[in-house]
Amino acid sequence: MTLLHDLPNPQRRAIDLVKEVSMEKDVRPFLVGGPVRDMLLGRPAIDIDLTVEDNASTLARAIAKRIEGRVRSFPQFMTYKVTASEFPEIDITTARKERYRKPGALPLVTEGRLKDDLLRRDFSINAIALDLLRGTMHDPAHGERDLDARVVRVLHDKSFADDPTRIFRAVRLAARLGFALEDHTAELMREAIEADALATVTKERLWREVFLAMDEPFAPAILTSLCEHGALRVLFGRRACSESSARLETIHAQLAANPELDRHVLYTGALLRGDASPVDFEGSGFSQKRARAVVEIANELPRVEEALRAAGDDRERFRIYRGVSPEMLIVLGSEVPDELTHIRRYRDFENFRLPLRGNDLEVPGGPHVAQALEQTRAAVFNGEITPEEARSYAKKVARALMEQAS
């Protein structure tokens, strides 16, 4: 089948192996959900998500054996994960029915047929299965039609009430694919948010969705859309998101240049600008340190700006920079006019090294050694002395410090 031929090599090898082992073991595997959607859209770097009606564990173990991999099983989800080095991860689940006894709670899961499994899913475009052995599509919710129309559509009117995390998923998926919410789906989503459906979901699950949004390439658009729909009110109340769109875009650009920064901290700080408090982070799993960094970004920009205006020289200014998180420094650099030049200089200073060590000073050990080296580093960086003078300068400073202390 042409679609499968277009896959990148690792995925194609994985699919070929699945087919081979399935024939041997007389199992009928379906590729389902995200991978089928992405393949049909010509986005071929797919996850291997399989559903079978029977014998998930037989298939998982037989595949693992062939590639010397291991199987992890998650009995409560009837799921098996096969992993091996240099091979894509393969998820195999047993087709299931789901029943929501209470809105917002996790569903009751029982074994079902393929069609049950497809119709319990979130959106039509995620409810298509490809029979790997026969090459046929199963599309009971007309997902292919919606892929053509480029819309995200829920499968029934109670979908968002049953599982309100689908509100986040809908916005995320639409932004990622450049799709629209189908009109009736958009209406149902508005109604669910108005009716406070999200309040039935645990804070932990809501934060998980927020973080998934922040991890997307189009995070600012997704977060802005969630804000506009009122979907973040359940976590942050009415104050969140005010005029946050430009700030989110700025952070997006900064993250592209500095991927090591804490994106969850930065985005949360931008959303809560002006009024964050540690109680906002219940369920987020933020450590105290990260929570403090968020509050700093959200609340303390004016205070830090004020302190920087009052700073007389580089020493004071650099001391202030050293006292804030790296994320806050990025916000300062991108939001406060003129600060960027100073911050660049600070970074250069932080990275500036002298080829001089404590032993070179020929004085007894103690705190004065590190202090002298640091003062010398600053003096060379600032051009007060030349690098050649560094060693004798450092010795002099160390001796003076020792005398002061005695």
Q: Which of 301, 236, 225 is nearest to 271 (CA)?
A: 236
Which one of Mg ion, ligand ATP, none interacts with residue 124, CB within 5 to 8 A by kind? none
Residue facing Mg ion at closest CB distance: 34
Question: Judged by CB under 5 A, does residue 34 bind Mg ion?
Answer: yes
Closest separation between CB of residue 267 and ligand ATP, Å? 18
Q: Which is nearer to ligand ATP, 153 or 166 (CB)?
A: 166
Which one of Mg ion, ligand ATP, none interacts with residue 112, CB within 5 to 8 A by kind? none
Question: Judged by CB under 5 A, does residue 47 bind Mg ion?
Answer: yes
Residue facing ligand ATP at closest CB distance: 34
Q: Which is nearer to Mg ion, 35 or 333 (CB)?
A: 35
Q: Which of 110, 121, 114 is nearest to 162 (CA)?
A: 121
Q: Which is nearer to ligand ATP, 33 or 269 (CB)?
A: 33
The CA dihedral of 166, 167, 172, 174, to the nearest 10 degrees, is: 100
Closest separation between CB of residue 113 and ligand ATP, Å? 16
Residues numbered 213-272 forming contacts with Mg ion, rule: CB under 5 A: none
Chain Cα centroid distance, residue 52: 30
Q: Which is nearer to ligand ATP, 102 or 319 (CB)?
A: 102
Closest separation between CB of residue 346 and ligand ATP, Å? 39
Closest separation between CB of residue 154 and ligand ATP, Å? 9
Closest separation between CB of residue 192 and ligand ATP, Å? 13
Q: Which is nearer to ligand ATP, 29 or 33 (CB)?
A: 33
Among the listed ranges 18-26, 28-36, 140-148, 173-181, the one in contact with Mg ion (CB under 5 A) is 28-36
Q: Which is nearer to ligand ATP, 142 or 395 (CB)?
A: 142
Closest separation between CB of residue 50 and Mg ion, Å? 12
Which one of ligand ATP, Mg ion, none interacts with residue 326, CB within 5 to 8 A by kind? none
Q: Which is nearer to ligand ATP, 165 or 284 (CB)?
A: 165
Q: Which is nearer to ligand ATP, 169 or 264 (CB)?
A: 169
Q: Which residues bind ligand ATP (CB under 6 A)?
A: 33-34, 47, 121-122, 126, 163, 165-166, 169
Closest separation between CB of residue 49 and Mg ion, Å? 6
Residues contributing to the site for Mg ion (CB under 5 A): 34, 47
